[in-house]
Amino acid sequence: MRLRLDISYDGTHFRGWARQPGLRTVQGVLEEALARILGGDPRLVVAGRTDAGVHASGQVAHLDLDDAQQARLPRRRREGDEGDAVAALAGRVRGVLGAYPDVTVHRSSCAPEGFDARFSAVWRRYSYRIADAQAGYEPLERLRTTSVRASLDVDAMHAAAQRLIGLHDFAAYCKAREEATTIRTLLEYDWRRGDDGILIANVRADAFCHSMVRALVGACVAVGEGRLEVDDVIKIRDEGRRTADSKVLAARGLVLAEVGYPADALLAARAAQTRNRRDADDIGA
């Protein structure tokens, strides 16, 4: 049996998503809670691994249960109702995590046939929050908002963000990983200033390379500060190398907000397509 879990967390005190020996991670905390309930060695597969300090409000993972673990699913009043037992699991996990945890499971459900939390996803959406000199500093928001001393030109930042949309090689905006492709389709990238003065980025792509969102944000901040021109973000991308004027911003402002999936009938096909590595020839296709 495969389950889907909908998860959110404050990443401040986690060393990222992925389990690491001796370190507190989101995956590690959740798998330990699941093991207490279900027994065995539960392993989560996640839609997108987040770095240390990055938050999530719309993370998705899947979990495969063997027969023994299925037998230990918590039951509600309608004894024997498999879907009801699966839905009750989220509540049991929340109980194990205790009051005011920094990670929670909002919903647990039976995954449709062909569902893979990582490979079936068609896009991921992130948001990023910045408090500049115009917005000011709010202590209650410090764990999810990055501070920038300058007063940023949000219109210039938005214009630069729009230039980057499309299918491209984003190597200049990624942390290099051996044999990993950096070709991505950036579907949306825009900036606005909220009613409270906070600058908010909306970034959506089919997938993201390591540190890609924070690097894209850093490039637009450089534009907002006047250190780069709007079209410089394209030059950086096309030259395939980073510049000292464009920095990777802090993790605290970044939230994985949403993961998109196709209709149930297309889940397996999407997973197979995603597993096919893209190369430079795909950009001109």
Q: Tell me the domain boundaries of the chain.
A: 2-110, 123-259
DSSP codes joined into one string, 116-159: -TTTT--EEEEEEEEE-TTT---GGGTTS-EE-SSPP-HHHHHH
**126 assigned to a ligand binding site:** yes
267: confidence class by pLDDT, cuts 50, 70, 90: very high
Per cent of the chain over pLDDT 90 is 87
Determine contact, residues 102/38, Cβ cutoff 8 Å.
no
How far apart are alpha carbons 275 and 119 in whole angstroms? 7
Return the active site residues. Answer: 51
The CATH code of the domain at 2-110 is 3.30.70.580
62: confidence class by pLDDT, cuts 50, 70, 90: very high
170-182 tens-digit pLDDT: 999 998 777 788 9
Per cent of the chain over pLDDT 70 is 94
Average pLDDT over residues 35-45: 97
| β-pairing verdict for 254-260 and 55-64 | parallel
Q: Give residue 77's pLDDT.
A: 45
How far apart are alpha carbons 95 and 234 in whole angstroms? 49
Say if residue 131's pLDDT is above 80: yes
Q: Give residue 279's pLDDT.
A: 58
Q: Give residue 275's pLDDT.
A: 84
How far apart are alpha carbons 94 and 169 in whole angstroms? 41
Determine contact, residues 41/35, Cβ cutoff 8 Å.
yes
Tell which CATH classification among 3.90.700.10, 3.10.310.40, 3.90.550.10, 3.30.70.660 matches the domain 123-259: 3.30.70.660
How far apart are alpha carbons 7 and 90 in whole angstroms? 10
How far apart are alpha carbons 70 and 86 in whole angstroms? 9
The model carries a pTM of 0.92
Topology alike, domains 2-110 and 123-259:
yes
Amino acid at 214: R
